[in-house]
Structure 1
Amino acid sequence: MNKLQLHGFNNLTKSLSFNIYDICYAPAQQQQAYIEYIDEAYNADRLTQILKDVADIIGAQILNIAHQDYDPQGASVTMLISEGDVTPPPNMNSQTPGPLRDTVLAHLDKSHITVHTYPESHPDNGISTFRADIDVSTCGRISPLKALNYLIHSFESDVVTMDYRVRGFTRDITGRKHYIDHNITSIQNYIAQDTQEDYQMIDVNVYQENIFHTKMMLKETELENYLFEKESNLSEQQKAEIEKKLRKEVTEIFYGHNYRRKKIKLADPLP
């Protein structure tokens, strides 16, 4: 493909919003221990390392890092980045999954990466949900979509929502405006095949506005993976009730609606 000759620099803004939800069953007597576990597993130091890896993948130089663990729970990290020193490879903008960590890919103009976490629990039914929001915003030639494959592998996720948007325009040497500089039909094209096979996926795209949205819900799950205390002595009736609560929580998050018990159409039963 012939390179586009620009008048000045590429000032397109490309923003990826990546949100994960991890659901767990932790009744009242376990909830404090669950929150403490989440705060330790996803503290500011670990989140900072994840963002450092993202910066490495997209070839960014880190200018500044601000991070904070919150009381009683949650953490945030904000990272300012600038362009790196590596020439972008020919397949930089191809619709393929990015690397998991080791390859530096491209230049970045000044931009940022942020992450915020939100552990929370239902007041009385034992369902706890951990949410992590990551935003990667870049200016110039590189798309943050190349970091998506690594981000998905960095968290255990029951539901994932992703939004990608290209804003602004860049002008070529003839004066013509270009509102996007790479082909994209779906965020799914940047997700590894083995991951796609594990999730039910839905797209909502507005091509004329360069807005792309993908949601993912884990297909097959085992109750044991949702119990905070794995060796819980539960009866078959208790297990069935917990499975119903978990299915309701996952389905409501995926579709973005609260459902009445009698009308809810739940996801496939847990095996």
Structure 2
Amino acid sequence: MKLTAEQRITLHGFNNLTKTLSFNMYDVCYTRTKEEREAYINYIDEQYNAERLKGLLIHVADIIGAHVLNIAKQDYEPQGASVTMLVSEGPIEGENTESSYDESPGPLPETVVMHLNKSHITVHTYPEYHPDEGISTFRADIDVSTCGEISPLKALNYLIRSFDTDIMTMDYRVRGFTRDIHGHKLFIDHEINSIQNYIPKEIKELYDMIDVNVYQENIFHTKCKLREFDLNNYLFGYTKEKLTKEEQTEITESLKWEMDEIFYGKNLTYTS
């Protein structure tokens, strides 16, 4: 929703609303042997090391219009990485800040509109594996928290396209309140009924989606699971032609079961 000058509400002082987008993604892989599992974990650690994740967050900061104050990054042993970024406020000289009111999925190119205050962006990664069933997973959690008119939802398009992911979980929440010039409290400053409104159509067509929204609390939750399944995308270092038909069926069932449990957020039980 883009507001015109006549539609905007004049605020008393700074916009104190805090808008937080939590973007959580999962990658699932079948690793038959200990050696395959170790190779997959090493690949993930290299592909999503702290330095590369830092670059991803810098792009996010540019998209939402943030000036980076400080970056802390860490690669962990035996696996995983974290990056935390603090950003600051202040409109850029010569920029048209009207676009900060445009609640949209945001661009893929980097576009700086406005710097932010009391805001942060973080990413943490969690490679892990099943002890005996050949399933390895990689999870990345990204949190974008901003104050003011501009929304972290602008980074959603870029985040989705930055990961080739099987499952996504997204949470968006607006906290606190700000006041207009008459002292009236505002607990949200834009219209929203679903995070899906900010996901491009061509992306939505790829996923099954579930919403759980608490409108009176300004809490919005969407989770997505990839619709199409190609076993070759889940094998590490070889293709399904290397497997018997029975092995293909067994591995496919195991992978789909894993993804369903992650998607529904609970352990599922087989029924005869």
- Interval containing the TM-score (normalised by the shorter chain): over 0.9
Mapped contact 1:28–1:124 kept (Cα < 8 A): no
Following TM superposition, by how much is the alpha carbon of 1:153 offset from its aligned partner in structure 2, in angstroms? 0.5
C-alpha distance in 1, partners of 2:96/2:74?
A: 33
Unpaired runs of 5+ in structure 2? none
Following TM superposition, by how much is the alpha carbon of 1:184 offset from its aligned partner in structure 2, in angstroms? 0.8
Following TM superposition, by how much is the alpha carbon of 1:231 offset from its aligned partner in structure 2, in angstroms? 3.7
1:172 maps to a residue whose letter is D
Q: Normalising to structure 1: TM-score of the pair?
A: 0.93
> 2:179 aligns to what?
171
Residues 178-257 of structure 1: pairs in structure 2 closer than 5 A: 178-231=186-239, 233-257=242-266
Q: Are positions 1:43 and 2:44 aligned together?
A: no
Following TM superposition, by how much is the alpha carbon of 1:108 offset from its aligned partner in structure 2, in angstroms? 1.6
59, 62, 84: which one pairs with 1:78?
A: 84
> 2:75 aligns to what?
69
> 1:269 aligns to what?
none
Q: CA RMSD in A?
A: 1.4
Other structure's SS at 1:244 match: helix
> 1:26 aligns to what?
31
> 1:266 aligns to what?
none
C-alpha distance in 2, partners of 1:93/1:194?
A: 25
Unpaired runs of 5+ in structure 1? 264-271
Q: 1:220 to 1:89 in 2, by over 3 A?
A: farther
Mapped contact 1:14–1:167 kept (Cα < 8 A): yes
143, 148, 157: which one pairs with 1:140?
A: 148
Identity of aligned residues (%): 63
Following TM superposition, by how much is the alpha carbon of 1:94 offset from its aligned partner in structure 2, in angstroms? 4.1
Off by >6 Å, runs of 4+ in structure 1? none
Other structure's SS at 2:169 match: strand
C-alpha distance in 1, partners of 2:200/2:110?
A: 16
Residues 44-123 of structure 1: pairs in structure 2 closer than 5 A: 44-86=50-92, 87=95, 89-123=97-131
C-alpha distance in 1, partners of 2:147/2:171?
A: 17
Mapped contact 1:107–1:142 kept (Cα < 8 A): no
Other structure's SS at 1:80 match: strand
C-alpha distance in 1, partners of 2:140/2:96?
A: 29
Q: Normalising to structure 2: TM-score of the pair?
A: 0.93
Following TM superposition, by how much is the alpha carbon of 1:261 offset from its aligned partner in structure 2, in angstroms? 2.0
Mapped contact 2:207–2:225 kept (Cα < 8 A): yes
Q: Are positions 1:10 and 2:26 aligned together?
A: no
Following TM superposition, by how much is the alpha carbon of 1:106 offset from its aligned partner in structure 2, in angstroms? 3.2
Q: 1:132 to 1:123 in 2, by over 3 A?
A: same
C-alpha distance in 1, partners of 2:19/2:88?
A: 14
Following TM superposition, by how much is the alpha carbon of 1:68 offset from its aligned partner in structure 2, in angstroms? 0.2
Mapped contact 1:22–1:158 kept (Cα < 8 A): yes
C-alpha distance in 2, partners of 1:107/1:64?
A: 14
C-alpha distance in 2, partners of 1:118/1:257?
A: 18
C-alpha distance in 2, partners of 1:191/1:152?
A: 9
C-alpha distance in 2, partners of 1:93/1:207?
A: 21
1:76 maps to a residue whose letter is S
Aligned length: 263
Other structure's SS at 2:91 match: coil
More moved, 1-10 vs 171-180 = 1-10
Other structure's SS at 2:205 match: helix
